[in-house]
Chain A
Amino acid sequence: MTLKLPIYMDNHATTPVDPRVLEQMLPYFTEKFGNAASRNHSFGWTAEAAVEKAREQVAALIGADPKEIVFTSGATESNNLAVKGSALFLKDKGKHLVTSKIEHKAVLDSCRALEREGFEVTYLDPARDGLIDPAKVQAALRPDTILVSVMFANNEIGTINDVSAIGALCRERGIYFHTDAVQGLGKVPFDVNAVKADLVSITAHKMYGPKGVGALYVRRKPRVRLAPQMDGGGHERGLRSGTLNVPSIVGLGAAAELARLEMPTEMVRIKGMRDRLRARIEAAVPKAVLNGHPEKRLPGNLNLSFAYGEGESMLMALKDVAVSSGSACTSASLEPSYVLRALGIGDDLAHSSIRFGIGRFNTEEEVDFVADLVIRKVAKLRELSPLWEMVQEGIDPNTVQWAAH
């Protein structure tokens, strides 16, 4: 089999729509185009039935009741609705929130917005391995804490948090627990009742569904109440007004069902490819440092720092492979990844990080191609690197007093 280039290995950023998902979506663009809110004709009933089926499919993936699923435009909206919606609803009960420094920006910036409204937020540091310690969450809780928001799996380093322990702490105290689960859902098992989650953010495009559609799980027992962030026709139990995006919701449902059915075999297959990639690279590249916990991570995630090689030039060297880097140079801000910085790994290693995201459509041939390419290109970049030269001469660049610039 010949490889088709470029190879896509950035499945934490987004995933392609599975053709089986697309096939189920297509009729809802054309012949089944009805508005799910039209109650008085068959076009509306057909659309509504499709939406309700998708609601069941999404609920089944996370062990929820379909009535607890609220469709949204994606995880950014779900995170905004969960964080701002619960805080604003509960503002008379308390004004303190707890979250972590490695959350998605949609959670962090929602928290910042609430701080401007007079709320207080505690931002927890992850451990060096990227995990959020439940004991730290517990220590941060106060009598006026109303919401804890800690992600299920991290998008950069793939670490999977002990959300069940955090959920239990919150439930005992009657504090809402929100988890942004977009990276983990459909990849590893997640059950809202085992986790005792009150609010769960879901998106389709990280699990082979379309972009622009997602959902928020909102617990009914004990009842979780939110202040809606969108005013209008009162769709989705009044929590999210706006005509439902029927074809995309059908796609989200189909993607959730495929992910649930194939998870047992896919987890093993994808983890096998990830482990193969890691083993091949580490066998040939000295000083390749794994970022994040070695086991408690998503099956498809590999995040490595290639010390003394810079991330953006690595991406340039890997031009036939789509991966991403925590290097500053890949962002407009010139700051290295805030997630990697929060781990305390040092800016130099953050600049040298590459995130590989292996997914459903990757093959072992692709993994071998990428491993070989990485091995060759890291060697080439280190040949160019004055830091690597110092290391070869026995000088540790960390002991050099560099001038900041």
Chain B
Amino acid sequence: MSYSTKVIDHYENPRNVGTLDRNDPNVGTGLVGAPACGDVMKLQIRISDSGIIEDARFKTFGCGSAIASSSLVTEWVKGKSVDEAEKIKNQDIARELSLPPVKIHCSVLAEDAIKAAIADYRKKKGEAIQAPSTAGEAHAREAFDPARGA
């Protein structure tokens, strides 16, 4: 399998690796995927009082394309409003990274991760939880609340 130069760049120099305080009321955490499937993404966003994503961090267990997809979305969501970030589609991620068909699921997971992080933030803020994403993937967040731990 050969990788696009963008995948290699994100893999070798991942942006925004790390962890935000998940107990911070302004931080939303999304944890999607499953170890048995070979990929797990944790994406966190910190949202300002004016509704803008000021910081984003990720950690990913997965192949190079999964790491690159999550690294890329952390770059993309920063500076966006929550509503704008929610509009990021897996196709945009796949196109930007030139993912081959067999790796499309990595971009789907990254889209799920953003949606999961936003849903977690909204839940904290007492807003109505959005309907689950239509990206076709189940979400780990329903089974595992990262704020509580296992």
Chain A residues within CB distance 8 Å of chain B: 308-313, 316, 327-330, 332, 334, 336, 346-348, 351, 383-390, 393, 395-405
B79 within 8 A of A: no
- Bound together, the chains give a CA A297 to CA B144 distance in angstroms of 40
Q: Looking at A327, A334, A389, A405, which has the most chain B CB atoms within 10 Å of its CB? A: A405
Stretch at the interface among B45-53, B54-62, B85-93, B120-128: B54-62
Most buried by A among B11, B61, B140, B150: B61
Residues of A within 8 A of B142 (CB): 403
Residues on B with C-beta less than 8 A from A399 are 150
Cα–Cα, bound, A386→B22 (Å) = 13
Our pick among B1, B33, B61 for the contact of A405 (Cβ within 8 Å) is B33
A residues near B60, Cβ cutoff 8 Å: 384-386
Please give the distance in Å from B82's CB to the nearest CB on chain A. Answer: 22
Give the docked Cα–Cα distance between A328 and B64 (Å): 13
CB-nearest residue of chain A to B103: A329
Residues of B within 8 A of A404 (CB): 34, 36-37, 138
Among B14, B34, B36, B102, residue most surrounded by chain A Cβ atoms (within 10 Å): B36
Whether A351 contacts B17 by the Cβ 8 Å rule is no
Q: Which 4 A-B pairs have the closest CB atoms?
A: A402-B34, A386-B42, A348-B35, A347-B36
Known pairs A402-B33, A405-B109 / 8 extra A-B pairs, C-beta < 8 Å? A316-B63, A327-B63, A384-B14, A384-B59, A395-B150, A398-B35, A400-B143, A405-B37
A388 CA / B144 CA spacing, docked (Å): 16
Interface pair A387/B144, CB less than 8 Å apart: no
Is B3 interfacial (CB 8 A cutoff)? yes
A395 pairs with B149, CB closer than 8 A = yes
Say yes or no: A401 contacts B144, CB within 8 Å. Answer: yes
A-B contact pairs, 26 of them (CB 8 A): A308-B61, A310-B62, A310-B66, A313-B11, A313-B66, A327-B63, A332-B102, A336-B38, A347-B35, A348-B35, A348-B36, A351-B35, A351-B36, A351-B38, A384-B17, A387-B40, A389-B42, A401-B143, A402-B34, A402-B35, A402-B36, A403-B34, A403-B138, A403-B143, A405-B37, A405-B137
Whether, in the assembled complex, B77 has its beta carbon less than 8 Å from a beta carbon of chain A, the answer is no
- Kindly identify, within residues 1 to 50 of chain B, every residue whose CB is under 8 Å from any CB belonging to chain A: 1, 3, 8, 11, 14, 17, 19, 31-42
Bound-complex Cα distance A351 to B31 (A): 19
Closest chain-A Cβ to B15's Cβ sits at a distance in Å of: 12
Instruction: Report how many residues on chain B are interfacial, defined by Cβ distance under 8 Å.
Output: 39
Q: Kindly report which residue of chain B lies nearest to residue A349, judged by CB atoms.
A: B35
Tell me the bound Cα distance from A395 to B31 in angstroms.
14
Instruction: Say yes or no for B139: interface residue by CB 8 A criterion.
Output: yes
A395 cross-chain contacts in B, Cβ below 8 A: 149-150
- Contact between B14 and A402, CB atoms less than 8 A apart: no
Contacts of A336 in B (CB 8 A): 38
> Quick one: CB contact mask for B108-150 with A, threshold 8 Å, 1 for yes?
0100000000000000000000000000011110111000011
Are B40's CB and A386's CB within 8 A? yes
B67/A313 in contact, CB under 8 A: yes
Give min CB distance, A180 to chain B, whole Å: 28
CA distance A313 to B62 in the complex (A): 7
Pair A396/B36 contact, Cβ less than 8 Å: no
Q: Is the CB of A329 within 8 A of B40?
A: no
Task: Tell me which of A390, A399, A401 has the highest count of chain B C-beta atoms within 10 A of its own C-beta.
Answer: A390
- Which residues of B have CB within 8 Å of A334? 38, 102
Contacting residues, chain A, for B32 (C-beta < 8 A): 405
Q: In the assembly, what is the distance between CA of A138 and CA of B140, in Å?
A: 45
Closest chain B residue to A381, Cβ basis: B61
* Bound-state Cα–Cα, A401 to B34, Å: 9
A310 contact set on B, CB distance < 8 A: 38-39, 61-63, 66
Q: Chain B residues with Cβ under 8 A from A328's Cβ?
A: 37-38
What residues on B are CB-neighbors of A400 within 8 Å? Answer: 140, 143-144, 150
Give Cα A383 to B64, complex, Å: 14
Given known pairs A395-B149, A396-B150, A400-B150, the reply for A387 and B35 (CB within 8 Å) is yes
Contact between chains at A316 and B40 (CB < 8 Å) = no
* Bound CA span A334–B1, Å: 13
* Shortest Cβ distance from residue A56 to the other chain B in the assembled complex, whole angstroms: 43
* Contact A312:B61 (CB < 8 A) given known A328-B38, A395-B149, A402-B36: no
Q: Which residues of B contact A327 (CB under 8 A)?
A: 38, 63
Task: Please judge, given known A-B contacts A329-B38, A384-B17, whether A313 and B64 are in contact too, CB under 8 Å.
Answer: yes
Q: Which residues of B contact A348 (CB under 8 A)?
A: 35-36, 38
| Contacting residues, chain A, for B3 (C-beta < 8 A) | 316
B35 to chain A, nearest CB (A): 4
Which residues does chain A contribute within 8 Å of B102, judged by CB atoms? 332, 334
A387 interface neighbour in B17, B61, B63, B149, Cβ under 8 Å: B61
CB distance A312 to B150 under 8 Å?
no
